[in-house]
Structure 1
Amino acid sequence: MRLGLIGLGRIGAFHAETLTGLGVDLVVYDPAPGVTERVADKYAAKPEMSITHVLDAGIDGLVIAAATDAHPELIIAGTERGLPVFCEKPVARGATEAADIQRRTSDARVQIGYNRRFDEAIQRAKHAVESGELGRLHTIRSTTMDPAPPPAAYLEGSGGIFRDCSVHDFDTIRYVTGREVIEVYATGSDRGDEVFARIGDASTTAAVLTLDDGTIAVVSNTRYNGRGYDVRLELHGSADSIAAGLDDRWPMRSAEPGVTFPAGTPHDFFMDRFLDAYRRELAAFTELVAGERESPCTVADAVEAGWIAEACTTSLREHRPVRIDEVKQ
């Protein structure tokens, strides 16, 4: 199998390593000087001089790890050539543009990179919901807390914390419950680096989501979690409760006397916490390319998570509850 890989930054280079380990032949390109050659040499990939050259290189599928603003054009370029496409989230900077991409593509051939769907604990939590063992689900708590904010240049182009960070929680909630969010209420603070106030973003947020069956989900996010990278999903039902992310590397200290859990070194990075999930995600894409499965995360899935992010952004700005159908177009 031969795949094109466009974008060779932190996540793109990691994908190059993962795909090479899966036995994939790679054709690679990045616009930054010297990056293409360096990654190509490291992973015995074929370097190309442009996006067009990658698309014309006889590839079986396309992996997009470029900057967010390039995602729409690259998804369309790949699908118009009949290629299966894997694209890192988000589909586009805003949900309206993402919805346009959905209308212009075939979902069955596009996989969007929401890697948490491939985390084993989250999959077990999903099974617990589907099997009915939790009873009637009433409360969800989903958390993504970064140890430090990304560079200012990244934040300026991210579209805001709800579109860039919280959207993972939104997708996970939809994936695990099989339900849709109908209303949100969000709040936040811009404490920390001056960049957050300057660009009108928040560094710490909380959002209350109401699902279409009445379940309440609370989503907490921050760019400043000093103890480490904390990603958890808690599901509470009338019969039982279950959580993903409560392992010995959970970045939390207990104040209870005699309690030593968690005893391990805290997670400090998303690639550390979700290494296996990323690998399973790309393995799934190779199966999609081979025609052995359908997309495990479609453009439509990503668009729905995007609408939740749009609603939360509006709610934060206007200090009021926002229904999802209010922001959908």
Structure 2
Amino acid sequence: MLVGLLGAGRIGAWHARFLSGHPLVRELLIGDADPRRAEALAGPLGARAADPEAVLAAGLDAVLIATPTATHAELLLRAAEAGVPVFCEKPVAADLETTGRVRERAAKTGTPVHIGFQRRFDAGYAAARLALRDGRLGDLHRVHLVTADPAPPGAEYVRSSGGIFRDCHIHDFDILRWVTGREVESVTAVGANRGDGYFAASGDVDTSAAVMVLDDGTVATMQGSRYNGAGYDVRMELAGTAETWVVGLDERAALRSAEPGVDWPSGDAWANFWERFEPAYASEIGTFLDVARGRADSPCTVDEAFEALLVAEAAALSLREDRRVRLAELR
């Protein structure tokens, strides 16, 4: 397969690593607004750097979009309307209106589109989803999600990120829907600024929490932080009438027990998201290549991305207006 990659930044470089070593990828073309960055990434991987326009015009079998958020919608539609199967990093766009327009236009093309939500390819989340559907947990009564970064992103990133609910917790909202099979009915969100001033200056928060009610009455809670000094902490707890399962509770969980004589977990905490989710990213790339070859359907469509963004928008509105927001208000 001839595969194009647009965007040679942090997440683009991560995808390039998996693509360059994949047996289905005959040649990898890398394009970036900064030609030097594209060349620096392509060289050690045995890939070829090219102008982004040249990449799109190369007769690709598939393309991955890992450019800044503001460019996602246009590039996704250009690829889809040219009949090139496309993988686009989340979000599709920064707002619901644009995401909705992209959804409609992309659907009309019939071209496969995959949106990057790598947690769906993580073994722990997949096991919890299966256990819930098999009835091993009994009736689900409560869900808790955590996403906490060990150190905050820079001020420039925060200014253009769309806020913690759209940028960071959109993964929690997506995986909540995917694992439980339920829709979020309402969100009540709060937040605080306990760290650098650039979060507040950007209208964002560095500490977050939310209570969500699902459409069957199940209560889900969520918390997040940009300053989790213990390490990268991503977990999901599902409590049912029969059992309680926790995703992310392993030897490298960023937790320490306060109980005397308990030294578990004893491993070094996960340092960052790409280290924690490396197998999931590799699996996701493999699945996308199968989607591009017509061997599978994407489990992460633009429709799915729209629903996750809808929850994020409701959370952001709840925080801003200090009230409970029902998703029906936005839908």
TM-score normalised by structure 1 residue count: 0.98
Deviations 1:2-38 (A, max 9, x none): 1110001111111111011113121110112411111
Deviation (angstroms), 1:165: 0.4
Quote the residue 1:21 is aligned against: 21
Aligned match for 1:46, one of 45, 48, 53? 48
**Structure-to-structure mapping, 1:282-293, within 5 angstroms:** 282-293=285-296
Quote the residue 1:280 is aligned against: 283
| Secondary structure in 2 matching 1:185 | strand
Q: CA separation of 1:87/1:100 partners in 2, compared to 1, >3 Å: closer, same or farther?
A: same
Deviations 1:257-313 (A, max 9, x none): 111100000011001110100000000001001110001101100100000000000
Deviations 1:13-70 (A, max 9, x none): 1111101111312111011241111112111112212x22111112101100111111
**Structure-to-structure mapping, 1:172-187, within 5 angstroms:** 172-187=175-190
1:80 aligns with 2:81: yes
1:158 aligns with 2:161: yes
Structure 1: gaps (5+ residues) = none
Quote the residue 1:312 is aligned against: 315
Q: Distance in 1 between matches of 2:100 and 2:222?
A: 24
Q: Distance in 1 between matches of 2:105 and 2:222?
A: 31
Q: Distance in 2 between matches of 1:168 and 1:180?
A: 15
**Structure-to-structure mapping, 1:1-329, within 5 angstroms:** 1-23=1-23, 24=25, 25-49=27-51, 51-106=52-107, 109-328=112-331
Letter paired with 2:238: L
RMSD: 1.0
Q: Distance in 1 between matches of 2:222 and 2:216?
A: 17
Structure 2: gaps (5+ residues) = none
Across the two proteins, how many residue pairs are aligned to each other?
327
| Secondary structure in 1 matching 2:169 | helix
Deviation (angstroms), 1:168: 0.5
| Secondary structure in 2 matching 1:184 | strand
Q: Distance in 2 between matches of 1:180 and 1:108?
A: 26
Query: Structure 1 stretches (4+) deviating beyond 6 angstroms?
Result: none
Q: Distance in 1 between matches of 2:96 and 2:131?
A: 30
TM-score normalised by structure 2 residue count: 0.97
Q: Distance in 1 between matches of 2:208 and 2:121?
A: 25
Deviations 1:193-228 (A, max 9, x none): 111111110100101011001111101111010100
Deviations 1:83-140 (A, max 9, x none): 1100111111122211111111037611000000000000000001111111110100
The percent identity for this pair of structures is 48
